[in-house]
């Protein structure tokens, strides 16, 4: 594409920051599901054979 190394580093760092922000937003939006699933996973009784 004819971009310099400095430009690629800038793009890489900005995309990394953007993805981190999106992951945080995703976790915030799904926090209730994460808590519910974790609690229900640990509440299940182990089946003895």
Contact between 27 and 34 under an 8 Å Cβ cutoff? The reply is yes
3-class secondary structure, 49 = coil
SS3 state of residue 46: coil
Start-to-end CA distance of the chain, whole Å, equals: 62
Sequence-distant (≥ 6) Cβ neighbours of residue 27 within 8 angstroms: 34
pLDDT in tens, 4-46: 999 999 999 999 999 999 999 999 999 999 999 999 888 866 6
Residue 30 per-residue DSSP state: T
pTM of the model: 0.70
The predicted structure's pLDDT at residue 48: 60
């Amino acid at each position: 594409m004819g971009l310099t190394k400095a430009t690629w580093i800038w793009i890489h760092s900005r995309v990394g920051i953007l993805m981190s922000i999106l992951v945080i937003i995703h976790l915030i939006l799904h926090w209730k599901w994460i808590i519910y699933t974790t609690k229900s996973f640990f509440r299940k009784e182990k089946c003895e054979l």
